[in-house]
Amino acid sequence: MAEFSGHLSLLAAVREPGGRTVLAGKSFRAPFHISKPYWDADAGTLLVQVVNPTAGILAGDRLVSEISVQAGASLLVTTPSASRVFQMRDGVAECRQQFAVAAGAWLEVMPEPLVPHRGSSYRQVTTVDVEPGGSLFFVEPLLPGRIGHGESWVWERLRLELTVRLGGELIARERFDQSGLALRELAELSGSGASACFANAILIAPAYDPATVPAWRSDLNALHRDGLWLGVSALRRGGWSLKLIATGSVQLRQALRDVRVILARYFPKLTCDPRKL
């Protein structure tokens, strides 16, 4: 079976003050491919879909992505479909992604969910560097597997590592390393059920005072209900961490849409529709 050493590099910039965001630099190698970028004039944001034209992620695949947004630019990066990690009789797959946001820039990363299949082993390492005055909304959705095929929580090993720095200072570091069975037991204990789905999000905003409760906090708290658990925590400076647990994929997708609608009242760049293409 062929192994991919995929590479994706995107540089978003504005050609002139107040002008449109463009891809000033781009390169990619299978299994990465990008669709034609779409400029959303209302949101003032460039939408780019990253496509995997292969079946999914296989044993031995090594994927590296680097996305940078320069001052004044605004970029939304999404995917048109879920990222599937297939069964691996031996070996692992690894993805390393790095995001850099300059002062006065905006980056949203809103992919479709990660779906680890039976017997898969996958590691994803994400590093985010935001300059003071830069803004970011980063989301990691996770499904428990192919629910319709009875494959919930049957992956071998899943490692998700996230490091976020603001102005070079570490403000968040998270590490998830679990077998599917261990997470299934946790889901059952929490009452979220066998088909529980998760999402982790980071919001970075300029001039954020951690001692101040943001106006949108109560609206997000109101989403918390039976079948959806949502928590918001302030980072040590610069932003917030959002955690979501839903009883199914439909509920999770709707919850993420609701979160974006609420936050868009305060962060207008979020009015850019990731499904526009």
Of 143 and 186, more confident: 143
What pLDDT sits at residue 149?
77
Under the banding of pLDDT at 50, 70 and 90, the label for residue 191 is low
Rounded CA-CA distance 267/255 in Å is 17
What pLDDT sits at residue 182?
73
Residue 2 has pLDDT above 60, yes or no: no
Rounded CA-CA distance 137/242 in Å is 10
Residue 188 has pLDDT above 70, yes or no: no
What pLDDT sits at residue 186?
65
Rounded CA-CA distance 98/67 in Å is 6
Mean pLDDT of the chain: 90
Residue 27 has pLDDT above 70, yes or no: yes
Percent share of the chain, pLDDT over 70: 94
Rounded CA-CA distance 146/32 in Å is 23
pLDDT tens readout for residues 99-136: 999 999 999 999 999 999 999 999 999 999 999 999 99
Residue matched to tokens 């002008």: 19
What pLDDT sits at residue 228?
93
Rounded CA-CA distance 58/88 in Å is 7
What pLDDT sits at residue 54?
73
Under the banding of pLDDT at 50, 70 and 90, the label for residue 212 is confident
pLDDT tens readout for residues 32-74: 999 999 999 999 999 999 998 677 898 999 999 999 999 999 9
Rounded CA-CA distance 7/61 in Å is 11
What pLDDT sits at residue 9?
97
Residue 88: partners with Cβ closer than 8 Å, 6 or more residues away: 58, 59, 119, 120, 121, 156
Q: State both tokens at 106.
A: 């905006």
What pLDDT sits at residue 90?
85
Under the banding of pLDDT at 50, 70 and 90, the label for residue 98 is very high
Residue 183 has pLDDT above 80, yes or no: no
Under the banding of pLDDT at 50, 70 and 90, the label for residue 16 is confident
The SS3 assignment for 197 reads strand
What pLDDT sits at residue 277?
54
Mean pLDDT, rounded, for 19-24: 94
Helix (H) or strand (E) holding 218: helix 217-221
What pLDDT sits at residue 180?
81
What pLDDT sits at residue 276?
64
Mean pLDDT, rounded, for 175-195: 74
What pLDDT sits at residue 189?
57
Of 80 and 192, more confident: 80
